[in-house]
Each structure stands twice: as structure tokens, then as C-alpha cells.
């Protein structure tokens, strides 16, 4: 019988899950990049509720890893390679630890099974927050004849990029843990995020006649893949190819590191899905973020 092993120490998890993360590097991109951040000693994002970080492996009787999961602070748990039965077991383990996650992220089957166990425990109803699709770059096709140019972000861009990041969260992730932060904490967290990306060469902007009109960020590669996001263009500047241009520039920077770009899209946004496919991204798998909400 497979059993869940929980780790509060990211280093212990990284050691035990290394082979699985390497074999499933693309679909584990969120978990792999987070554990790399924590092992490297990066500051954790601001948390309103003090929710702990943890990682988990689903171990076979032979002690090999069959699936992994993670909870990064106030965000719901994310699961990779987890079936419905294992998801229910993980939810049971987490509730026994005294946690009360408000949802789950993973395959539709796993996320629903996890949330159904939460409903059994506390009641409520399950709602879909967002359905996402993971893409990886196949062959880069930069857009042509887009006004302006891409460049790495500079310190002078920080304030504008923090405004972009705040707007991105309001538009793309309303109700997220980020939205629960005070305005001061949101600003401080945004500055930390942007400065980190600038410091590692992972923040790019698209500039037209001296004005920054779009941006895209990426983390350092983990097991050969680097995830792009967020990508943001203010509403007044959309429809001109800027997002495609800056995403292509970030993708080329990743390729120059001998890594493969990947990214997630919101399936409810056909525009962004089309943009990325036109510049060479191909779909890999679909996941869903479900919430358990109190019934009226």
C-alpha cells in the first residue's frame, strides 16, 4: 500500500523526491521551483495566517516515490501524479495535522477528491476557481513587426512593475492569499518579487518609445525547465503584440540557459492561450484549482 510521507524540511523532501522531480520535471514545475527557492534560502512570501510550508511524497512499499504534493503558505495544496484515492488520504492527513485548507490544485479528479474529503469534514460546496493548462515551448516563433523592443528590467522600472503585478493579481487571481494582504504588505511583497527577478535576470519588459507597456517574469530553471509568469499588459495597451513579444524574449533567455520554457494559462482566456501557441508553445496537461466555500 502506498503511504504519504510529509516533510516540513524542504531539504529532506528534495533529497527523497529528487528522482521523481527529475523524471517529471515539467509537470512538477511549481513544486520543483518552490523547493529550490526554499533550499536556496530565499525569503518566503508574506503570509497572513502563518500557514506552514510542507511537502509530501507518496511512497510505494519499495520506497520509491509515486507522487508529490506541496502547500506553500496560505495557498491551497498542489498535487502532481496523485489519483483520487491518494488525494483523499492526503486530505485526511492534513486535517489531522490541524490544517484547514480552502481548496486544492491538481488534476480534476485529484482536486475534487481532496475537496470532497474537506466537505465531509467541515461542510460547504466545491467551486471551480480556475481551470489551467500547462504549456511547454516546442519551437520559438517570435512575433514580427511588433512596435518597441524587449529588455531586461532595471531598478528604475520597479515602481511601474509593482503596479503591474498588483493589477495582475486583482485581475487574474481575485480572492487569492495575495488579495488578503494589507496594501502595505502587498506593496512590500511586490517589491520583493520584482527585485528578486531583476537580481536573477528573470524580469523582462517590453518598451515602446521609452514607456514600459508589458512585462514577463521567470524563475531560475529547475530540473531543466523554467516557468514563465506572470505576464501582464495593461488593458489600454493590449492587442498590439506586446505580451507575445516580451514572452518570446524571456523564452529566448531561458533557451540560452539550455533550459525549456513552460507556462500556465487560464483556460477561460482564449486570447492568452492563442498568443502563446502562436509563438510556439504546445499544451501538456490541464489542471484545476477548486475551492470549498461555505453554503449560504
**Nearest Cα residue to 115 out of 155, 169, 166, 79:** 79
- Residues 173, 214: one domain? yes
216: which strand partners? 204, 231
- Residues 110, 148: one domain? no
- Residues 206, 239: one domain? yes
* pLDDT for 133 beyond 80: yes
150: which strand partners? 206
pLDDT of residue 44: 61
The 8-class DSSP code of residue 37 comes to: H
User: Residue 212 belongs to what H/E stretch?
Assistant: strand 211-218
Q: All 3 cell numbers of residue 203?
A: 524580469
pLDDT of residue 156: 97
Instruction: Look up the pTM and report it.
Output: 0.91
- Residues 154, 260: one domain? yes
State the average pLDDT over residues 100-112: 96
* pLDDT for 6 beyond 90: yes
pLDDT of residue 294: 84
Max intra-chain CA distance, the chain: 62
How many C-beta atoms lie closer than 10 Å to residue 39's C-beta?
Answer: 14
pLDDT in tens, 257-289: 999 999 999 999 888 889 999 999 999 999 999
pLDDT in tens, 197-250: 999 999 999 999 999 999 999 989 999 999 999 999 999 999 999 999 999 999
Residue 130: what are its φ and ψ, rounded to 5°? Answer: -160, 140
- Residues 188, 224: one domain? yes
Cβ pair 119, 125 in contact under 8 A = yes
State the average pLDDT over residues 184-191: 88
- Residues 148, 270: one domain? yes
Residue matched to cell numbers 495597451: 237
The 8-class DSSP code of residue 240 comes to: S
**Nearest Cα residue to 223 out of 262, 250, 249, 252:** 262
Domain limits for position 252 = 137-285
pLDDT in tens, 38-68: 888 765 655 555 667 899 999 998 879 999 9
CATH number at residue 191: 3.40.630.30
Confidence class for position 296, pLDDT limits 50, 70, 90: low
Is residue 128 in some structural domain? no
**How many structural domains does the chain have?**
2
- Residues 190, 257: one domain? yes
Confidence class for position 185, pLDDT limits 50, 70, 90: confident
pLDDT of residue 235: 95
Residue matched to cell numbers 465531509: 120
**Nearest Cα residue to 92 out of 66, 118, 53, 56:** 118
- Residues 142, 116: one domain? no
Is residue 20 in some structural domain? yes
**Nearest Cα residue to 71 out of 92, 47, 101:** 101
- Residues 210, 147: one domain? yes
Amino acid at each position: 500500500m502506498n503511504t504519504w510521507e510529509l516533510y516540513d524540511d524542504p531539504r529532506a523532501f528534495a533529497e527523497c523526491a529528487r528522482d521523481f522531480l527529475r523524471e517529471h520535471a515539467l509537470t512538477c514545475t511549481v513544486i520543483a521551483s518552490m523547493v529550490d527557492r526554499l533550499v536556496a534560502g530565499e525569503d518566503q512570501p508574506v503570509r497572513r495566517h502563518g500557514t506552514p510550508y510542507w511537502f509530501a511524497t507518496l511512497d510505494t512499499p519499495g520506497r520509491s516515490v509515486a507522487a508529490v504534493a506541496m502547500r506553500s503558505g496560505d495557498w491551497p495544496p498542489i498535487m502532481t501524479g496523485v489519483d483520487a484515492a491518494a488525494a483523499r488520504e492526503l486530505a485526511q492527513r492534513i486535517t489531522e495535522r490541524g490544517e484547514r485548507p480552502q481548496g486544492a490544485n491538481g488534476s480534476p479528479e485529484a482536486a475534487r477528491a481532496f475537496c470532497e474529503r474537506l466537505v465531509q469534514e467541515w461542510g460547504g460546496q466545491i467551486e471551480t476557481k480556475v481551470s489551467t493548462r500547462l504549456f511547454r515551448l516546442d519551437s520559438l516563433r517570435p512575433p514580427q513587426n511588433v512596435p518597441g523592443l524587449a529588455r531586461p528590467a532595471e531598478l528604475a522600472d520597479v515602481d511601474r512593475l509593482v503596479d503591474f503585478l498588483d493589477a495582475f493579481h486583482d485581475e487574474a487571481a481575485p480572492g487569492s492569499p495575495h488579495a488578503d494582504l494589507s496594501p502595505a504588505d502587498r506593496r512590500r511583497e511586490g517589491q520583493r518579487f520584482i527585485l528578486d527577478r531583476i537580481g536573477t535576470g528573470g524580469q523582462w519588459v517590453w518598451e515602446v518609445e521609452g514607456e514600459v507597456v508589458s512585462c514577463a517574469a521567470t524563475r531560475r530553471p529547475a530540473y531543466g525547465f523554467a516557468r514563465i509568469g506572470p505576464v501582464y499588459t495593461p488593458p489600454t495597451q493590449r492587442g498590439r503584440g506586446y505580451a507575445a513579444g516580451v514572452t518570446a524574449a524571456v523564452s529566448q533567455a531561458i533557451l540560452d540557459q539550455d533550459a525549456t520554457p513552460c507556462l500556465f494559462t487560464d483556460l477561460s482566456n482564449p486570447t492568452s492561450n492563442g498568443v502563446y501557441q502562436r509563438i510556439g508553445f504546445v499544451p501538456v496537461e490541464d489542471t484545476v484549482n477548486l475551492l470549498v466555500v461555505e453554503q449560504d
